[in-house]
Structure 1
Amino acid sequence: MGLRESFRAGLARQLGHPSGLRGRIVGAMLNRRNRAAVVKAVAALELSGTEQALDIGFGGGLGLGLLLRKTATVQGVEISKTMLDRARGTFRREIAAGRLVLSGGPMTALPLDDGSVDAIVTTNTVYFVDDVDLAFAEVARVLSPGGRFVLGVGDPDLMGRAPMLVDNGFRIRPLSELEAALTAAGLTPLRHEEFAHSGLGFHLLVTRK
């Protein structure tokens, strides 16, 4: 493997599970590069300000900050210890005030009680989930009746043309497969938003329990 290929492989691994100093750099990069997508995803939740919201796989923490401005309390679940530590430093006041609770764990085993949150957002995470059926079942389990879930993903056709992603473990699924899995989990489709983002297309699948 050449130097360029080795760098790309390392970056792809960091995108899935940021760790160490490189992970902190990647977290800051994700906040910049994904800003438009995360802003639109949070807006699609149509929060009233009274909900308890959840950001799954919050990465650099941009979504946490947006949710804290728009709702009562926020939960964040993240598999990367590096990103958890970063968020604990960034949002220490909100954590101390009880407005933000951060937990470690995967999307397939969310450390939350049944029906405990009213709105859930996750962007650019399902590429790193082996079992989306189980992941969406977990989302449905912790979501309260009538609650909203917004899933943000890059355009699968365009992502499939990127060797760095395809060759380094990204699970790129057709939108039809994701939509079917959401429905099977008991999450009713409300709308599908599509927009240009970072040279690729981006999709928001907006659902309700």
Structure 2
Amino acid sequence: MNGVRARMFSTLAGQLGNPHGVLGKGVAFVLNRGNKRAIEAAVTATALTTGASAADIGFGGGAGLSLLLAQVGDTGVVHGIEISPDMLARARTKHAEEIANDRLRLTEGSLTALPLRDNSLDAAITVNTVYFVPDLDAACAELARVVRPGGRLVIGIGDPDTMATLPFTAYGFTLRPVADVIAALEKAGCTVDHQQLPQPPIPHHLLVATPG
């Protein structure tokens, strides 16, 4: 029974990090529903205006793409960066019109190798993704590279103490203290505003970073 339990939670953790296949479709729905408030708060924290350029990195189910598109309006551009080919295909189907109008640009990529130019974004969000990145310093440096000085980079993470009580986070998750993520952002040259979202079932932290 313990082996079955371990395989089940390992599969779930793998899907949360890289949704794919038939199971991935269900995971995409769960990600959108479970992360809704954190994603909404992250988009709000960007303070984007019409015509801006933004990105959702590791967009998963795609809820953040819709919110960012609404925020930047018809003259803005949103980049969606995702490691999962299945989630990219899902987003291409859902947002065919926005892609055709060049309002949305979808690309395969990771937090440590972003397919974006230096200082090319006014803002970027990444929510519940840094658990799956082995090299946090490299990820924060890469995020800071693509956001212009004075722009906003928003990282959303679940409270690590609460996350540690969930059975699946023992499989493939790296739960870091919030202070460690802040330190990595500061090392990348950002000033950081730490905001907390005490929402059930998992409290979240928003780290709103401004590259120098």
Q: Output the TM-score relative to the length of structure 2.
A: 0.94
Whether the aligned pair in 1 keeps the contact of 2:81 and 2:107 (CA below 8 Å) is yes
Work out the CA distance in 1 between the residues paired with 2:148 and 2:126: 17
Q: Which residue of 2 aligns with 1:193?
A: 195
> How large is the Cα RMSD of the aligned pairs?
1.1
- The residue correspondences of 1:73-112 to structure 2 (distance < 5 A) are 73-112=77-116
- Letter of the 1:173 counterpart: R
Work out the CA distance in 2 between the residues paired with 1:208 and 1:50: 19
Q: Which residue of 2 aligns with 1:202?
A: 204
After TM superposition, the runs of 4+ consecutive aligned structure 1 residues lying more than 4 A away are none
Q: How far 1:198 moved relative to its partner?
A: 4.0
Q: Which residue of 2 aligns with 1:153?
A: 157
Q: How far 1:35 moved relative to its partner?
A: 0.7
Please list every run of 5 or more consecutive structure 2 residues that lacks an aligned counterpart in the other structure: none
Alignment partner of 1:14 is 2:18:
no
- Letter of the 1:62 counterpart: A
Work out the CA distance in 2 between the residues paired with 1:198 and 1:126: 20
Whether the aligned pair in 2 keeps the contact of 1:196 and 1:202 (CA below 8 Å) is yes
Q: Which residue of 2 aligns with 1:37?
A: 38
Q: How far 1:14 moved relative to its partner?
A: 0.3
Q: What SS does the corresponding residue of 1:77 show, helix, strand or coil? A: strand
In the alignment, which of 131, 139, 152 is matched to residue 135 of structure 2?
131
Whether the aligned pair in 1 keeps the contact of 2:85 and 2:108 (CA below 8 Å) is yes
Percentage of matched positions with identical amino acids: 49
Q: Which residue of 2 aligns with 1:60?
A: 61
Whether the aligned pair in 1 keeps the contact of 2:116 and 2:146 (CA below 8 Å) is yes
- Render the CA deviation track for 1:79-126: whole Å, top value 9, x for unaligned: 011100100001010000000000001100001111111100000000
Work out the CA distance in 2 between the residues paired with 1:126 and 1:203: 12
